[in-house]
A and B are shown apart, each in its own frame.
Chain A
């Protein structure tokens, strides 16, 4: 029954992810990513990790996707044209992705086969398997705990330093994002070229061969 629920979530997520990487409409890609992230949030709930599910829905589906949608609209608004995505190198990309998947599956199945030969842990690991507990000699077996109950003590007491570092990272990222995306109006005080002026000079220098490069870039399969 739960396996059925798993497949009902996993198959649409994979299809939506495929849509994200193949559709030419960038807003459609963002919406597909939104739905795929919701599906992954459902998988977190299925894994008995409701905190992760809620965080996935709040932060990813609620925050990151909105950020993406805003970025798409900021980029679109100025040109007034619908942003279409070009793809190139589809063949090599497909080969690399399939190769990666095959290698991963090979490593995984080889690892599991080795375990089966030892006779210690047959098949995939399973939370209810007691094989794992038998293999490792545990002197004092920890009692069953509820991950939800233990989560905030772990985050806010035992691992407070990583938590604070993460908050500083977010602050730095926020300030940096504002600085990077800020309108480039100010003149450079040292008399050096502002990025925009430098760009204008650069395009004036290399304006001749720009068209050639564009032709080469669009010739992908």
Chain B
């Protein structure tokens, strides 16, 4: 029993695009308004997920192998996002060890 048997019709791609745009806007808002470095990374993860939803929604329109390639792109994006999260969190932990803070505004070592 596949999902087509339970849910015959599909959701229009535009719904996914509006959803992804909203999600990206929420992440953008968080990235700008957060002063905590971990909170900023969380916002970036939201934005990356919005992009993933967008690509996956578009890949449904593909013909033949196009569907597979869209999903493959999303998988590579997840890989890169995970690497980014790991390195970002390591930087935050190191920053906390050094400076005892995770506030992005208090990092002014490079300020001229």
Which residues of A approach B to under 8 Å, CB–CB?
A: 1-3, 5-6, 10, 13-14, 17-18, 20-22, 26, 29-30, 33, 36-37, 40, 43-49, 51-52, 55-56, 59-60, 63-64, 67-68, 70-72, 74-75, 78-79, 83, 85-90, 92-94, 96-98, 100-101, 104-105, 108, 112, 123-128, 132-133, 138, 141-145, 147, 150-151, 154-155, 159, 162, 166, 169-170, 172-174, 176-178, 180-181, 183-184, 195-196, 199, 202, 213-214, 217, 220
State the main secondary structure of chain A at its contact with B. Answer: helix
Contact of A14 among B22, B32, B84 (CB under 8 A): B22
Interface residue count on the B side (C-beta < 8 Å): 83
**What are the residues of chain B within 8 A of A36 when measuring CB–CB?**
46, 49
Can you identify 7 A-B contacts, CB atoms within 8 angstroms?
A: A20-B30, A21-B39, A36-B46, A64-B81, A101-B22, A101-B24, A147-B68
From residue 59 to 112 of chain B, which have CB atoms closer than 8 A to chain A?
A: 59-61, 63-65, 67-69, 71-72, 74-76, 78-87, 89-94, 96-100, 102-103, 105-106, 108-109
Contact of B102 among A22, A83, A101, A162 (CB under 8 A): A83
How close is B64's CB to chain A, nearest CB, in angstroms?
Answer: 3
A21–B76 contact, CB under 8 A? Answer: no
Q: Tell me the bound Cα distance from A181 to B88 in angstroms.
A: 10
Which residues of B approach A to under 8 Å, CB–CB?
A: 3, 7-19, 21-30, 32-36, 38-39, 41-43, 45-46, 49, 52-53, 56-61, 63-65, 67-69, 71-72, 74-76, 78-87, 89-94, 96-100, 102-103, 105-106, 108-109
